[in-house]
Every structure is written in structure tokens, then in C-alpha cells.
């Protein structure tokens, strides 16, 4: 076991998405020592996999890049990737945290030249594309990845492929002998920002996700639209690579449903409204988007965006929770069945592609967090625990980026108060 780093005045931030990055920066820029722990190989979280942000439709690069630059410039933040918290002992103001760090097989000598990836031919499903595409087993997670350092997938370690990667590196950066490490560190307060994951769409059996190739989720659609994604930014449907000009958006896929997720995921109405504009961007007046909804929840200033999309002649709204999706066996076109509740007419509508506006659930259920936190009925972190483990961002609720960042700032302020008190007690 590696000896302790950090002290009781350190703030530990768990999760390196937009919320965790914000929390780390806010604390560091107030002069606090921060350890930022991220499970994957890169910071950025889910926002790095979005094509554009609502409501202004800017690219996520802008927001993320500024934060990354601030992190690089800060002397108070120590970033640890491929790291997970396995145990938290102690109490408010004095925690001992155990971390498990997975081997990257690439050390700090890496210049991100990419020679290892060129040398390797083995491929693995790309998790940043939700498995839609494949990538080399020696990879940089994505263009915005931080640290800008390659990763060797454990699948090729100990094989000829692994040796090829090592041989190709001119900087001696590849170390195939790396092992999993355990590390203990001290912290006065913890900000828990492990974010969200999409609900498992296959559980919504009547929608045929997993059975029908042309039924995909909203997170996958973001990847189709992204120039760095599996189709190079073309909206091509999975079954035959045909352009998906006629797209159905099925709202509340898993959300607001006692059989699935109880809560409203809050961002998916806006996400679908935004995605109708991807279809328009790709096909102009030939685009056909149909949004099937219970009610559109475009809160406060987002209402303007909704009003704008309403005026778009390529977008149609059908007030109905889709009952069932079938597939035309010959063309593999999905066919949506249901009853609209403005007139109670039955419909059977054919589309090129169906996008399920999938619900958000916490990526780590509050009950599985190894610390004293209060869970709400959906497994998000609720306020009210006695501990100094503060939830931030989508670990506390389904939030858009703006609200996630606000929540992270609030959590950081609480964490700072705790370590300040610990500092005074020690003085």
C-alpha cells in the first residue's frame, strides 16, 4: 500500500464530469488542496460525449476547454484517473479514504503521438460511443481527453498485440508490468459527483430496443450527430446505413413511470427539442422530426427554445406516450403505435429511426456509496446527512449542465466550511 498523501484540510472530489471539475476548481481557486478522483481514463464525463449543448447549441468543447485549462493551471489540484473509492472511514473533518487505481499501462512520458494505436490491430467497443463504434485497443478516449495520454486496454496486455504497442512507442511510455494499486489518503470533506447513466432501454420491453436496430437512445443519437462519432457526424440509421430523415423522438422513455424510473429526468424534453435541430441541420427542409410526448417540460428560460422549435415546420408534436413499437420486417422501419390524447385517435406511424429520450439514473446509487449519505426514492443523494460527504451535479438529481454546475458550487462551499473549521481546530 502506498503511504498517505493529503491532509484533513484536503477536499476530495469523486467524479470528474462537469460537476466534479467545477467543484475541484472552485475549491482550488479558494486556496484549498484538492484531489480529484475519476473512474474512467479521462475527465469530462458525459458532457464530453454530447454534440451540442442546449439552449445555445454551442459545442461542449468551449465549456470543457476553459475548465481543463484552469485545472492545468492550478497547483492545488491533483487529478487521479482510473481511480475508484472503495472505502471511507472516519467522520466529518477527518476521513481516511481508500482508493483502487487500475493500471493504464502508459506512463507520463506519453506525448499522445498515437504510434501505439497505429501499431495495434485489435479493436474493442468504444464506450464513449455507447458501443455504436469500435476503437483500437490502444487508444486516447476522445479528442478532448485529459490527461492527453493513451491507454492500453487490459485485453491486449500479455499478448503479441500488447508487445506491438510497446515496440511502437519511441518514448518508453508503455509499461505492461503496471499493476492495480491501492492508496489511502486523508480528507476533511468529500464532494461526491459521480453523475448519471442512461436507464437500460431494453427494460422497456414494448419499445424493442435491442431487438430492432433502428430504435436507439438519445445518448446514442448525440454520437451519430458528432463529427467525431461513429458515423463521422452523419445521421445514418444502424440497420442499413440509410440517411435517417424521418426521426421519431419518444419522450419519457423510462422516466415518470412507476414501472421504471419514478422521477422526471428533466433534461430529455430539451434534449429532444435540441436533437430535432440536428435533423434539420442535416437535411434542411427534407427533415421530418416527430416528438411523441406527455407534456413538454422546458423549464424557465428554455421555454423560448421550445417556442422556436414549435415554429419549425419540419417538427411535429404528438401528445401521446407511445404504447408499442413494431418493425416492418422487410424495410426494418420502426412503426409506432399508440393513441394521441388530443382527440384520442389511434395511430400507426412509420419512421426511419426512433430515438428514445432515455431517462437518467444515478451512476452510483446512493445506497452503494461507502459513506453516510441520504438517498431519495430514485437513489440520488439527498441533503440532510450528518457527514461531510456532499452530493453535487447529477449524483443529486437529473440536471442540465447549468444546474449541475450550480449544485457543484453549492456543495463546494459546504466542503470549504468543513475544512476551514478543521483548520481552526488544529491551529
Q: Which residues contribute to the site for another protein (CB under 8 A)?
A: 206, 252, 256-260, 294-295, 319-324, 337-341, 344, 346
Smallest separation, CB 53 to ligand FAD (Å): 4
Which residues form the interface with ligand SF4 (CB under 6 A)? 251-252, 255-256, 264-266, 268-269, 297, 357
Smallest separation, CB 23 to ligand SF4 (Å): 25
The number of beta carbons lying within 10 Å of the beta carbon of residue 281 is 15
At 137, list the grid cell: 485497443
CA distances from 173 to 180, 253, 254 (A): 17, 44, 44
String marking each residue 204-223 x if it binds ligand FAD according to CB under 6 A:
--------------xx--x-
Smallest separation, CB 143 to ligand FAD (Å): 16
Residue 54 in contact with ligand FAD, rule: CB under 6 A: yes
CA distances from 262 to 201, 321, 378 (A): 15, 15, 7
* Binding partner of residue 322 among ligand FAD, ligand SF4, another protein, none, CB cut-off 5 to 8 Å per kind: another protein
At 365, list the grid cell: 446509487
Smallest separation, CB 32 to ligand SF4 (Å): 35
The nearer residue to ligand SF4, 255 or 396, going by C-beta atoms, is 255
- Strand ranges of the sheet holding 315-319, from the earlier edge strand across to the other edge: 215-217, 353-358, 246-253, 288-293, 315-319
Restricted to residues 287-316, the positions that interact with ligand FAD (CB under 6 A) are none
The nearer residue to another protein, 67 or 255, going by C-beta atoms, is 255
Pairing of strands 288-293, 324-327: unpaired
Q: Are the C-beta atoms of residues 122 and 136 closer than 8 Å to each other?
A: yes
The nearer residue to another protein, 127 or 206, going by C-beta atoms, is 206
For ligand FAD, the binding residue among 25, 271, 322, 418 (CB under 6 A) is 271
How many CA atoms, within 13 angstroms, populate the side-chain half-sphere of residue 127? 12
The nearer residue to another protein, 31 or 344, going by C-beta atoms, is 344
Residue whose C-alpha cell reads 462537469 in the numeric block: 18
Smallest separation, CB 339 to ligand SF4 (Å): 9
Smallest separation, CB 166 to another protein (Å): 53
| Long-range Cβ contacts of 322-328 (<8 Å, 24+ apart) | 322/207, 322/248, 322/250, 322/292, 323/206, 324/206, 324/207, 325/206, 325/207, 325/208, 325/212, 325/215, 325/250, 325/354, 326/208, 327/208, 327/211, 327/212, 327/214
The nearer residue to ligand SF4, 76 or 251, going by C-beta atoms, is 251
Q: What is d(CA 152, CA 129) in angstroms, rounded to the nearest whole number?
A: 18
Smallest separation, CB 303 to ligand SF4 (Å): 13
Residue 84 in contact with ligand FAD, rule: CB under 6 A: yes
Give the sign of the dihedral formed by CA 157, CA 158, CA 164, CA 168.
positive
Residue ranges binding ligand FAD (CB under 6 A): 14-20, 37-40, 45-47, 50, 53-54, 84-85, 193-196, 218-219, 222, 267, 271, 274, 360, 363-364, 393-394, 399-402, 404
Amino acid at each position: 500500500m502506498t503511504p498517505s498523501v493529503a491532509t484533513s484540510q484536503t477536499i476530495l472530489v469523486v467524479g470528474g464530469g462537469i460537476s466534479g471539475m467545477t467543484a475541484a476548481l472552485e475549491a482550488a481557486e479558494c486556496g484549498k488542496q484538492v484531489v480529484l478522483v475519476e473512474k474512467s481514463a479521462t475527465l469530462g464525463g458525459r458532457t464530453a460525449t454530447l454534440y451540442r449543448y442546449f439552449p445555445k447549441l454551442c459545442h461542449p468543447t468551449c465549456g470543457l476547454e476553459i475548465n481543463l485549462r484552469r485545472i492545468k493551471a492550478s497547483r492545488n489540484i491533483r487529478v487521479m484517473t482510473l481511480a475508484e473509492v472503495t472505502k471511507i472511514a472516519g467522520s466529518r473533518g477527518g476521513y481516511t479514504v481508500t482508493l483502487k487505481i487500475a493500471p493504464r499501462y502508459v506512463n507520463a512520458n506519453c506525448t499522445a503521438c498515437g504510434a501505439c494505436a497505429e501499431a495495434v490491430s485489435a479493436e474493442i467497443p468504444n464506450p464513449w460511443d455507447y458501443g455504436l463504434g469500435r476503437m483500437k485497443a490502444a487508444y486516447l478516449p476522445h479528442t478532448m481527453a485529459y490527461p492527453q495520454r493513451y491507454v492500453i486496454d487490459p485485453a491486449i496486455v500479455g499478448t503479441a498485440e500488447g508487445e506491438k504497442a510497446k515496440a511502437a512507442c519511441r518514448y518508453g511510455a508503455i509499461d505492461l508490468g503496471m499493476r492495480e494499486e491501492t492508496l489511502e489518503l486523508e480528507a476533511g470533506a468529500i464532494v461526491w459527483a459521480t453523475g448519471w447513466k442512461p436507464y437500460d432501454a431494453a427494460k422497456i420491453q414494448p419499445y424493442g430496443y435491442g431487438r430492432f436496430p433502428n430504435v436507439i437512445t438519445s445518448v446514442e443519437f448525440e454520437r451519430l450527430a458528432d463529427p467525431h462519432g461513429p458515423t463521422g457526424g452523419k445521421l445514418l440509421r444502424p440497420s442499413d446505413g440509410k440517411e435517417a430523415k424521418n426521426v421519431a423522438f419518444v419522450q419519457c422513455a423510462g422516466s415518470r413511470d412507476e414501472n421504471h424510473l419514478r422521477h422526471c429526468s428533466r433534461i430529455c424534453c430539451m434534449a429532444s427539442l435540441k436533437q430535432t435541430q440536428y435533423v434539420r441541420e442535416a437535411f434542411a427542409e427534407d427533415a421530418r422530426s416527430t416528438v411523441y410526448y406527455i407534456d413538454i417540460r422546458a423549464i424557465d428560460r428554455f421555454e423560448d427554445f421550445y417556442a422556436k422549435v414549435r415554429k419549425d415546420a419540419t417538427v411535429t408534436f404528438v401528445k401521446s406516450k407511445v404504447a408499442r413499437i413494431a418493425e416492418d420486417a422487410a424495410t426494418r422501419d420502426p412503426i409506432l403505435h399508440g393513441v394521441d390524447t388530443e382527440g384520442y385517435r389511434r395511430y400507426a406511424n412509420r419512421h426511419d429511426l426512433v430515438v428514445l429520450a432515455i431517462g437518467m439514473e444515478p451512476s452510483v446509487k446512493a445506497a452503494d456509496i461507502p459513506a453516510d449519505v441520504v438517498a431519495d426514492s430514485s437513489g440520488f443523494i439527498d441533503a440532510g446527512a450528518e457527514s461531510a460527504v456532499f452530493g453535487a451535479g447529477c449524483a443529486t438529481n437529473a440536471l442540465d449542465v447549468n444546474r449541475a454546475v450550480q449544485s457543484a458550487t453549492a456543495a463546494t462551499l459546504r466542503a470549504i466550511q468543513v475544512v476551514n473549521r478543521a483548520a481552526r481546530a488544529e491551529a
